[in-house]
Every structure is written in structure tokens, then in C-alpha cells.
Amino acid sequence: MFLLDKEARGARVCERKYVAPADARAGAIAVLALHCAPDPEHPCGIVESIYFDDGWFSSYWEKIDGDVYKRKVRLRWYAPLVGPPVRSGEIAAFLDVKDRIGAAREKRHVPFRADAALLNAAPLRSAELQALLERTAQAAGLPIATTLVPTVAIRYRRQRYTCPCTGARISLDHEIRSPRANPELFPGRAPLESGRIVCEVKAGVVQEGPWAEGLLRLGFRMQSFSKYGLFMEMHVQGSI
């Protein structure tokens, strides 16, 4: 079921992604520091996510096959910049449901609290994670398929900037890795490294700032990119 209402259908955010090999990180940080300002609220953080899919990997194949309708479901939280992940007590987390039909899209970002040990350490075969998703979605009034199971976990460091020339919000994601996967879906697979760095630009209109040329000189290329899609490809097809 697609969730877009009339107001959401009218809201448009243009998004561009620039992708390069991981060794371009230092240069990218220098370029963005020269032309942009650090985000005043959240300049840097570690992003943790658990993505859910069904046994047929429908969400993955919707992306690969270019289906008109696409849905992505994940649990997201933020880890400390220094020290190990929190292993006890409750932490703030979010349920993200991203729906898309053609050019129309909607993202629901639902805050909730969850057990830190469950999110950070539970094997992805855990029925508790599946129950947490269903319970949180039900409380928010979001329709979620009961066939969804935890599939892969993704972790990366994100640095956020704003472009004073265009007003764009820019995120630089690096150290992108998948530390866990559901062993019932992908038995015997070790943690995976992406080998990528991603610069994600969001704005009301498509407009490149002065940082764009610097990124392209470093080897960044504008392309469609999905962290979930990349790690699923590595698991399913054994490629990068």
C-alpha cells in the first residue's frame, strides 16, 4: 500500500549522489570544507541501520529491475563517535519507510525507543527484531508486510554540510560497511566493506555548487547508488 497523500505528492526534493573509491575521502573532506559550512546541528555522526526484506528479496529486486513501485524499510539509530556501541538500556531509534511510485516519493520517519543490545548485537535471525519492526509500525499506523525479516545491517560515518551558494544539504558518507547479515539468508558470510565513498546532495531544485567540480576532479561520478543495493548485490551475486 502506497502512503502518499496529496500534500506529500506535491513536495519534491531533488537528490544527487556522487560516488568514488574510498581512498578519495581526504580529498572530498578538503573540497567540502573549502566550499561549505558544517551542519550547525549534526556535523558528524555514525549511522547504523538494519534493513528488512522478504524471503524473495522483493525490495532488492524492485531496485535492480527498475520497478515503478519501490519500498524500502529499515530501523535506524546513531552510535557514539568515540568508544564502543551502547550495549545496555534504551536508545533513540527511527523506523523509516520509503515508498516510491515513479517520480513521486514519500519517506515516513518514525521515532521510538528500543533496547540497545537488541539493535547493536542481536543476530539478524532474531525474531525479536522482526517483532520490534511490526510493533513499531503498528503503533505508527503504517502498513508493513508480515513477511519482512531483518536482512543486512549497514554502518557508516556521515559528515554533514550546507552549501551557502545553493542552500543544498550535503552528506559525505564513508567507512561504509555491513557488519552483520541474516545467517539464515546468507550463511557463512563475513562482514563486508563497500570500498566506496558517497556524497549525497539534497535541495529543492537541481543546482550544482562550487564543490561539484572539485569532487569530479577527485574521481567522483554522479550515479544512482543504494548502500542496501550494493551489499545485497555482494551477497546475492557475489560482485561489487
Cα-Cα end-to-end distance for the chain: 32
Across 157-170, average pLDDT: 93
Residue with cell 545485497: 232
What is the pLDDT confidence band of residue 100, given thresholds at 50, 70 and 90? confident
Residue 11 has pLDDT above 90, yes or no: no
pLDDT in tens, 60-91: 998 777 666 788 999 999 988 876 677 778 99
Query: What band does 8 get if pLDDT is binned at 50, 70 and 90?
Result: very low
Q: Is the pLDDT of residue 97 over 80?
A: yes
> Can you tell me the distance from the alpha carbon of 56 to that of 69, in angstroms, rounded to the nearest whole number?
16
- The neighbour count for residue 112, using CB atoms within 10 Å, is 17
Residue 206: predicted pLDDT? 65
CB 71, CB 62: distance < 8 Å: yes
Q: Which three cell numbers stand for residue 109?
A: 520517519
H/E segment holding residue 59? helix 58-65
DSSP one-letter string for 110-166: EEEEEEHHHHHHS-TT-HHHHHHHHHHHHHHT----TT-EEEEEEEEEEEEEE-TTT
Is residue 159 within 8 Å of residue 165, measured between CB atoms?
A: no
Report how far residue 209's alpha carbon sits from residue 25's, in angstroms, rounded to the nearest whole number.
19
Residue 103 pLDDT greater than 80, yes or no: no
Three-state DSSP class for residue 221: strand
Q: Are the C-beta atoms of residues 207 and 159 closer than 8 Å to each other? A: no
The confidence score (pLDDT) of residue 1 equals: 39
Cα–Cα nearest to 86, from 44, 123, 48, 54: 48
Cell 539478524: give the residue.
124
